[in-house]
Amino acid sequence: MNKIIRFLPLVLVIALGVVLYRGLSLNPQDMPSALVGQVMPDFSLSTLNNENKTVTKADLVGDIVLLNVWATWCPTCKYEHPYLLEIATDPKLKTQVKLYGVNYKDERLPAQQWLAYYKDPYQFSIFDDEGLLGVKLGVFGAPETFVIDHHGVIRKRFAGAIDVRVWRKEFEPLIKQLITEKQQGK
Amino acid sequence: MLTRVLFIVVIITSALLVVNSTQASPVETFEFQDDVTKVRFQALSKELRCPKCQNQNLADSNSTVASALRLDLYNLLIQGRSDAEIIDLMVGRYGEFVLYRPRVSSLTYVLWFGPALLIFIGMIVVFLILRRKPIIKEELVLNLEQQEQLKKLLADGDDTSLASKSNQEQANKE
């Protein structure tokens, strides 16, 4: 018994080492969203392309929605932009999923120019220059993408760029599930 | 001598100025209807953590999300929401993470009570170690009965050794 106790500090140090080593590879920015499973918050903002047109939550709810938070100041948004275009133009996907943008903490003119230059994958972009919709959504930065089901419930929040790999791993299974849920009339 | 003192004073004041300027908050102007709201705004923006830059509070941070949250906080205060309501709302969006002093819940038990538990365990260990020593000392000291036995054994040992000696002497003679 005494001999085992003698090795206890060594065992504890090794255990601590394992825990801390694991901590090195964790991403501290990878936060679970408190909003998953909750109804999308209300808002009333203009669209990016038309400052006189007001859109609200009612304009989004009903379809399976991808809500992509983007900005011209965000380099990662530029990286994911081509893949968003692919999603928006995919003949099968575009009938099942609607992609909307939230232009987050940005200026109207440069953002409009960005979409004109890189092409516009969004049904429309909500112009959230003060970031208040972003705050309601619990956004940390850009890019972030939310999956909202046909009842207007937030089903997923993803922080970071979307590419083929991320799409297949993080989004495709959920989108398929939501499509069957919608078809079954749940 | 006087110039040297002056020199030191100048250095200290400039150092203080530098320290103060690094503590300055990002530039934004909010107008408050009264001082109470202003103080509440300042207190809450120090209590709430910036979600993006994780070791800064809202008052400190320059990130986009922090400035959006400051504006939101201002709007909520103007709407007349209470501190508790605002904190609940923020936790609802960003999770317990936004609070610099997380609330006591099953998730944060380890955080709140862990240190006290570790101190308690440490105290028990120290107590056990301190208690062990006197026992060993007592065991080293013989009681009366054992001392008697020891004396007897020693005395017997002397006899036998003498006896063996005399035997040997006899053997040598023969």
pLDDT digits (tens, 9 = 90+) for A126-181: 999 988 899 899 888 889 999 999 999 999 999 889 999 999 999 999 999 999 99
The CB density around residue B12, as the number of other CB atoms within 10 Å, is 10
User: Is residue A45 predicted with pLDDT exceeding 70?
Assistant: yes
If you search the block for the tokens 């056990």, which residue do you land on?
Answer: B128
Distance CA B132, CA B164 (A): 44
Distance from the A90 Cα atom to the nearest Cα atom in chain B, whole angstroms: 32
What's the token pair of residue A120? 């516009």
Lowest mean pLDDT among A40-44, A55-59, B56-60: B56-60
Chain B interface includes A130 (CB < 8 A): yes
CB–CB contact A35 B68 (8 Å)? no
pLDDT digits (tens, 9 = 90+) for A2-25: 778 888 889 999 999 999 999 888
Distance from the A147 Cα atom to the nearest Cα atom in chain B, whole angstroms: 16
CB-nearest partner of B68 from A33, A35, A134: A134
Phi, psi of A140 (to 5 degrees): -95, -40
Task: List the beta bridge partners of residue A58.
Answer: none
Chain A interface includes B82 (CB < 8 A): no
Q: Per-domain residue ranges for chain A?
A: 32-183
CB-nearest partner of A141 from B64, B71, B75: B64
Q: Per-domain residue ranges for chain B?
A: 2-98, 109-173
**Calculated CA dihedral for residues A7, A9, A11, A16, nearest 10 degrees:** -170
pLDDT at B21: 46
Contacts of B87 in chain A (CB under 8 A): none
CATH topology of domain A32-183: Glutaredoxin (3.40.30)
CATH topology of domain B2-98: Helicase, Ruva Protein; domain 3 (1.10.8)
Q: How many CB pairs under 8 A join A and B?
A: 56
